[in-house]
Amino acid sequence: METIRVAIAGPRGKMGREAVKMVEEAANFQLMAVVDSKNEGKKVRDIDGLPASDAPIYTSLEECLTAHDVDVLVDLTAPAFGKKHMEIAFAHGVRPVVGTTGFTEADIEELRKTAEEKGIGAIIAPNFAIGAILMMKFAQVAAKYLPDVEIIEMHHDRKLDAPSGTAIKTAQLIREVREAKEQGHPDEREELQGARGANLDGMHIHSVRLPGLVAHQEVLFGGVGQTLKIRHDSIDRTSFMPGVKLSIETVMGIDTLVYGLENIIE
């Protein structure tokens, strides 16, 4: 089994901490270095709560990837950095696995073009939880038969983007099987702006932000005399790590950009 050399951006974050632990524990991965917004020159072991690893900390991704032979960069920072970090990784021939959200369809197309021109694999996964991927797939099946659907996504109140990447991805998957149509009463009006949430082809998406939540989503379907609710809950961030591990392994064998874990899970 060949060792995959990994760098992680965002190691002090809630996701990054779990990723550092997972990479340290995996027999086929080696943690080469991390990129943090502070702690330049220290080692991973110097950060409270992180494993006793001698992997060095950089504040510049550019310097990190210049100094180390890295196969895969795992980015778990913030929506503002995902795209920039992917471009830097591509420039260094490093395969990015990105969990930050906030990519536009145009960003994804541009990044896919770069990945293919360079023949470098890349994965962007708005949700690394396998259960959430199943929720999206089940929702797509249900929407064929029950095309009236609303999505309620619920996250912790530190989340920067709304709606979540998972909610947008769910709506995009549903859009593939559902003809665009406006839902609700044709004459409905919002007494308070935003009351009906965001609107994608007539599907409404509602974002809840509260302390105490991690990542949750309900897809609600309504039909004549019946409703169907498909719900997924990530109750802590370890739920995302099998998906991060699978992505690191998978990205080594592809030469394009894959957007969404559903495309690498049968």
The least distance separating ligand NAP from the CB of residue 19, rounded to whole angstroms, comes to 9
- Residue 262 sits in the site that holds ligand NAP (CB under 6 A): no
By CB under 6 A, name the one of 6, 7, 8, 15 that touches ligand NAP. 15
Angle CA 119–121–125, to nearest 5 = 150
CA angle 50, 264, 98 (to 5 degrees): 40
d(CA 36, CA 256): 27
138 forms beta bridges with none
Of 68, 92, 137, 159, the catalytic one is: 159
Tokens of 127: 């949700």
Residue 10 C-beta: closest distance to ligand NAP, Å: 3
Element (DSSP H or E) covering residue 173: helix 165-175
Residue number, nearest CB to ligand NAP = 13
Binding mask 176-215 for ligand NAP (x = CB under 6 A): ---------------------------------------x
250 binds ligand NAP (CB under 6 A): no
By CB under 6 A, which span of 114-122, 125-133, 179-187, 217-225 interacts with ligand NAP?
A: 125-133
What are the angstrom distances between the C-alpha of 11 and each of 16, 18, 23, 119? 4, 8, 11, 28
- The nearest distance, CB 149 to ligand NAP, in angstroms, is 22
92 counts as catalytic: no
Q: Are 72 and 92 in contact (CB under 8 A)?
A: no
- Identified binder of ligand NAP from the candidate list 4, 6, 8, 10, rule CB under 6 A: 10
Choosing from 83, 85, 155, 232, the catalytic residue is: 155
User: CA quadruple 186, 177, 130, 229: dihedral positive or negative?
Assistant: positive
Question: In which region does residue 49 sit, left (phi positive, over 0), alpha (psi from -120 to 50) or beta (all else)?
Answer: left
First to last CA, the chain: 23
Using the rule CB under 6 A, which residue among 4, 9, 44, 86 binds ligand NAP?
Answer: 9
The residue (of 9 and 264) whose beta carbon lies closer to ligand NAP is 9
21 is a catalytic site residue: no
Residue 177: CB atoms within 10 Å: 14
> From the list 29, 103, 221, 240, which residue makes contact with ligand NAP (rule: CB under 6 A)?
240
Q: Is 79 in the site for ligand NAP (CB under 6 A)?
A: yes
Residues that bind ligand NAP (CB under 6 A): 9-10, 12-16, 35-38, 76-79, 81, 99-101, 125-128, 158-159, 215, 240
Active site residues: 155, 159
